[in-house]
A and B are shown apart, each in its own frame.
Chain A
Amino acid sequence: MLQFPLWKRLLVLGVVMLGAWLCLPNLLNAGQRAGLPGFVPSETVKLGLDLKGGSYLLLEVDPEELQQNKLLELSRDIQRSLIKKPNNVKFRGREVIDGGVRFRVVEPSQVDEAKRRVRELSSPVGGIGGAQSLDISEQNGVMTVKFSNARLEELEVEALEDSIEVVRRRVDGSGTTDPNIQRQGSNRIVLEVPGLDDPTELIELIQRAGVMTVNLVDDAADATQYRVDEPRLGKVKRLDAYTPEEYVVFEDPILTGSDFTSASQGFDENNSPQINFTLNSRGAKAFGEFTTENVGNRFAIVLDGKVVSAANVRTPILSGSGRITGQFTIQEANAIAIVLRAGELPAKLQVVEQRVVGAGLGEDSIRAGTMASAIGLALVAVFMILAYGLWGVFAVVSLAANIMLLVGALSGLGATLTLPGIAGIILTIGMAVDANVLVFERIREENRNGRSPINSIEIGYKQAGSTILDANLTTLIAAAVLFWLGSGPVKGFAVTLGIGIFTSVFTAFVLTRMFMSDWVRTLRPKKLPV
């Protein structure tokens, strides 16, 4: 156990040097780090949101709303399919109800044709051989079409992926730095924004449905005859987003959000904010035709059910680009532009968890954590040296190397350090000496039983080895479970605790052993100091 050939010695030294090397950037400030040559690592320990301040949001895609939206879409598709000529199917009472689309086929002879047409809308989920996407049932001419479970699951996954993309574009568009967006489970999104200590505006931006349409305004209609969200005769009432004005607009949109290719906030000649946009070719064509036919008429730009701008067509707009002016502020114009660019959400996003830490608390936590670590380390060091003298010094040097390796590993692995993570480091400090103590006590015992110092050390390490392994594996199991099931800060604790187990076993069992071996072989003590 006490043989340390040169290669082993170099290896141990190499590991410690590597730890120091990876640890190094943490001791420098940002400016010094930027000046480092390329081969020097510049990764520091990443601080968690609880230490550097920032916002953590957990967003959930509303599955019921998602299903509702998709059913409305399906309902429109069914209608389109059934009215196709020739042999169009006559039907009545089409509605979305109880998680399905229901309608009655008027002529019993057309039931089979209706089924055939609806079945054409169904497709195997996940490619050929998969379950059908639609469940179709019929009773006395009343047909019910539902999504199959396989399709519902697929819709959820698609909606989550789409939502993540939309959220990413909106967050990026808002000029936020370094956001972290991740999928969690089947219907959730984790959004972490460092440094943001008031996420209210960001939440508003993210939660906008982002459904944008351009509709023709019927200025001849009497607004009192119509209601918001209850279309009648193909028209519907819309309220202005900023003024008390009300509009009656035609339900069928001229343009939808997907026709826009870009949008940005700018200023008009009066220095009022405006939104510049460009349309894709389909949009440009549709808008060109519309403006040609409707010179003098008004159109409204409707975002999430509210009119953000309404304007008269003065001349045909054929260029496929234009601008939106209105009563909005710069921030609002910017938000609209972002939402337009990012597209619409498949369903409402609900904030189900929000955790925000201000920079002040973060700094306090770092200070408290550093202080607690330093005092904890000092106490343990004094205790060990008082208890074991020279051996205590060996253990404390190992402990210092241990912390260096731990911080180096955290930096090198790009792990995130949280406040509980700091607690994990301090706990590691306390527990790291355990392996040393186990060995020292064993050596003492062997020595007391009449073995020579060198022999006692040899046997002590040998006997304590399996105990150290067993004892640390159990703590590792606890850390692994925490990592697996914990979230956020707790995960950070599991990481430092887990890494700490490896570094402390290495330093206690290998590094201290090397010191002990050198000491006993060079000085050849007749008696052990303890």
Chain B
Amino acid sequence: MLLKYLPTEPKFKFMKFRMAAFALSLILIVGSIAMVVTRGLNFGIDFVGGVVVEVETPTKVDIGEIRSALSSLDLAGVEVTEIKDNLVAEETDTTIALIKTKAPEATGDEVEAAVQATAAGILTALKSEFGDIEERRKEAVGPKVSGELMQDGIMALVVALSLMLVYIWFRFQWQFSVGAVLALVHDVILTIGMFAVTQFEFNLSTIAALLTIVGYSMNDTVVVYDRVREELRRYKKMSQIDVIDMSVNRTLSRTLLTSGTTLLALISIFLLGGEVLRGFSFAMIWGVVIGTYSSIFIASAILLHTGMRRSTIAGGEAEPDPQGAQV
């Protein structure tokens, strides 16, 4: 069994590197924000309004031909990309193209109608050029709805983070909840930064991914925190830094195994789950890696700096450790 090679109790001195980790995270956070400000995010139509049309042409065509077929429509910032159904697919004799365009310039209620008309216009133009195309997907989101979706998305993140803060406060103490939420904010910022770097589309399912990352990272953090609390009760004389290092080490194999299985599942979605889920699974993969890192180096390490008090934790009965002699 592979586990034989994974030591039950490694003795890594994680906390020794916490200042380096803080510095690294700070650089990454500043970098992420800078990327978002300078490059911006590639928002999907969910958030900025516009039209997405996915068509399959009856024969193989060049993306350039599709682009030129649409040139007469005078679309605002049109993007045409070819879609590979999954990343390991074989060659086909048709072309699947994704056409994305922003909401046309207009005011008030007219823009809502104009967005809907744009979708119809694109299909008409393509049909006259390529004949019997298959309409695989058509989405037209007006600016009113997209504005609300953006608000809802931000709201969902804020609400989720606040609930986590309250939950950890309630279950542990505020020093823990500060660390946990800082780690979550760290994860969210770095994930958004990654979207700015890769320019993957940022849409509703990205928000779903962000919330799931928050849930996953929290899950990881709670496992370590639980252990910290337990060991703090048990080893009343050990220094905080050693208790935290020990807790992280004792949960390390679980952390790695769970991240491993989750990553396996996610990689499978990323490679085989099709275009629609690609952004989502990409965000999740990155988030799982970041979330695992932040649970150890942010959430746990911050406990050393928020002045957690043993007095409020040490209520539980202390169990004698079988290896107590070591301590």
Of the candidate stretches B27-35, B63-71, B134-142, B236-244, the one touching chain A is B134-142
Residue from the list A62, A383, A445 in contact with B264, Cβ < 8 A: A383
A137 CB within 8 Å of chain B: no
Q: How far is the CB of B217 from chain A (nearest CB, A)?
A: 9
Cβ–Cβ contact B138 & A481, under 8 A = no
Q: How far is the CA of A361 from the CA of B135 in the complex (A)?
A: 9
A449–B323 CB distance below 8 A: yes
Do A448 and B8 contact each other (CB < 8 Å), given the known contacts A423-B281, A427-B265, A482-B156? yes
Residue pair A419, B207 in contact (C-beta under 8 Å):
no
- Cβ distance B129 to chain A, nearest Cβ, rounded Å: 18
Interface residue from B167, B212, B260, B273 paired with A369 (Cβ < 8 Å): B273
In the complex with contacts A357-B137, A368-B273, A372-B268, A475-B218 CB distance below 8 A: yes
Q: A372-B269, A420-B277, A530-B1 are in contact. Are A383 and B140 (CB under 8 A)?
A: no
Q: Considering the chains assembled together, what is the distance between the CA atoms of A433 and B138 in angstroms?
A: 38
Q: Determine whether B19 belongs to the interface, using a CB cutoff of 8 Å to chain A.
A: no
Q: Is the CB of A431 within 8 A of B258?
A: yes
Judge whether A497 and B112 touch: CB under 8 Å. Answer: no
Does the CB pair A389–B1 fall under 8 Å? Answer: yes
Chain A count of residues within 8 A CB distance of the other chain: 83
A481 touching B211 in the complex, CB below 8 Å, given contacts A437-B258, A449-B322, A487-B204:
yes
Does B223 count as interface, using CB distance less than 8 angstroms?
yes
**Given A368-B272, A479-B215 in contact, is the A380-B261 Cβ separation under 8 Å?**
yes
Does B308 sit at the interface, judged by CB under 8 A? Answer: no
In the bound complex, do residue B265 and residue A426 qualify as a contact, i.e. CB atoms below 8 Å apart?
Answer: yes
B137–A475 contact, CB under 8 A?
no
Within 8 A of B (CB), among A53-70: 58, 60, 62
A490 with B207, Cβ < 8 A, contacts A360-B56, A368-B85, A497-B212 known: yes
B218 touches A357 (CB 8 A): no
- State the CA gap A384–B138 with chains docked (Å): 41
Stretch in B74-82, B189-197, B247-255, B298-306 touching the partner = B247-255
Whether B85 contacts A364 by the Cβ 8 Å rule is yes
Closest B residue by C-beta to A368: B274
B261 touches A200 (CB 8 A): no
- Top 10 A-B pairs, shortest CB-CB distance: A430-B265, A478-B215, A368-B274, A376-B268, A430-B262, A475-B215, A474-B218, A361-B136, A376-B265, A485-B156
Bound-state CA distance A489–B251 (Å) is 35
Asked if B216 is an interface residue, CB under 8 A from chain A, the answer is yes
- Name which residue of chain A comes closest to B113, CB basis: A350
Q: How far is the CA of A487 from the CA of B204 in the complex (A)?
A: 9
Known: A356-B139, A437-B257, A445-B250. 16 other contacts (CB 8 A): A351-B140, A353-B140, A353-B142, A355-B139, A372-B273, A375-B272, A380-B265, A431-B261, A438-B258, A475-B212, A475-B216, A475-B218, A477-B164, A477-B167, A482-B156, A490-B207
Does B261 lie within 8 Å of A493, measured CB to CB?
no
Is A144 on the interface with B (CB-CB < 8 A)?
Answer: no
User: Could you tell me which residues of chain A, from 422 to 467, have a CB within 8 Å of some CB in chain B?
Assistant: 422-423, 426-427, 429-431, 433-434, 437-438, 441, 444-445, 448-451, 463, 466-467
Bound CA span A383–B268, Å: 14
Contact of A430 among B164, B218, B261 (CB under 8 A): B261
With a CB–CB cut-off of 8 A, which chain A residues contact B8?
444-445, 448
On chain A, the residues within 8 Å of B214 by CB distance are 478
A482 lies within 8 A of B113 (CB)? no
Contact B9 A360 (CB under 8 A): no
Give B90 Cβ to nearest chain A Cβ, in Å.
Answer: 14
Name B's A-contacting residues (CB within 8 A): 1-4, 8-9, 54, 56, 85-86, 109, 112-113, 116, 119-120, 134-142, 144-145, 149, 152-153, 155-156, 159-160, 163-164, 167, 171, 204-205, 207-208, 211-212, 214-216, 218-220, 222-223, 226-227, 230, 250-251, 253-254, 257-258, 260-266, 268-269, 271-274, 276-277, 280-281, 284, 321-323
Write out the residue numbers on chain B whose beta carbons fall within 8 Å of the beta carbon of A475: 212, 215-216, 218-219
CB A349 to nearest CB in B, in angstroms, measures 11
Residue pair B260, A383 in contact (C-beta under 8 Å): yes
CB neighbours (8 Å) of B54 from chain A are 361
Given contacts A353-B140, A369-B273, contact A478 B265 (CB under 8 A): no
A45–B152 CA distance with the chains assembled, in angstroms: 28
**When the two chains form the complex, which single residue of A375, A449, A478 contacts B212, counting CB atoms closer than 8 Å?**
A478
Asked if residues A352 and B145 are in contact (CB atoms below 8 Å), the reply is yes
> Chain B residues with Cβ under 8 A from A422's Cβ?
273
Scan residues 355-392 of chain A and give those whose CB is less than 8 A from a CB of chain B.
355-358, 360-361, 364-365, 368-369, 371-373, 375-377, 379-380, 383-384, 386-389
Give bound CA distance, A477 to B222, whole Å: 13
Task: Give the residues in chain B near A244, CB-CB below 8 Å.
Answer: none
B-facing mask of A187-216, CB < 8 A → 1, else 0? 000000000011010010000000000000
Are B9 and A358 in touch, CB under 8 angstroms?
no
Q: In the complex, A420 Cα to B209 Cα: how many Å?
A: 10
- Within the complex, the shortest CB–CB distance from A450 to chain B, in Å, comes to 5
The answer for the CA separation of A373 and B159 in the assembled complex, in Å, is 31
Closest to A481 in B: B160
Minimum CB–CB distance for A266 against chain B, Å:
31
Q: Determine the chain B residues whose CB is within 8 A of the CB of A50 once the complex forms.
A: 276
Q: Is the CB of A490 within 8 A of B261?
A: no
Determine which of A353, A380, A420 lies in contact with B280 in the assembled complex, contact meaning CB atoms within 8 Å: A420
- Are the CB atoms of B251 and A474 closer together than 8 Å? no
Closest CB in chain A relative to B86 CB, distance in Å: 6
> Which chain B residue lies CB-closest to A432?
B261
- Interface residue from A426, A437, A490 paired with B204 (Cβ < 8 Å): A490
A-B contact pairs, 22 of them (CB 8 A): A50-B276, A200-B120, A354-B141, A357-B137, A358-B136, A368-B277, A372-B273, A379-B268, A380-B265, A386-B2, A387-B1, A423-B277, A445-B9, A449-B321, A449-B323, A470-B222, A471-B222, A473-B167, A475-B219, A478-B211, A486-B207, A494-B208
Nearest neighbor of A476 in chain B, beta-carbon distance: B215
**Cα of A217 to Cα of B211 in the assembled complex, Å:** 64
CA–CA, A427 to B259, complex, Å? 11
Chain A residues whose CB sits within 8 angstroms of the CB of B2 once the complex forms = 386-387
Expressed in whole angstroms, the minimum distance between the Cβ of B21 and any Cβ of chain A is 23
What residue in chain A is nearest B281 (Cβ atoms)?
A423
Structural contact, B218 and A441, CB atoms closer than 8 A: no
Minimal beta-carbon separation of B57 from chain A (angstroms):
12
Query: Quick check: A486 and B269 within 8 Å, CB to CB?
Result: no
Q: Could you say which residues of chain B place their CB within 8 Å of the CB of A433?
A: 257-258, 261
Expressed in whole angstroms, the Cα–Cα distance for A50 and B139 within the complex equals 11
Given contacts A50-B276, A388-B3, A426-B265, contact A441 B254 (CB under 8 A): yes
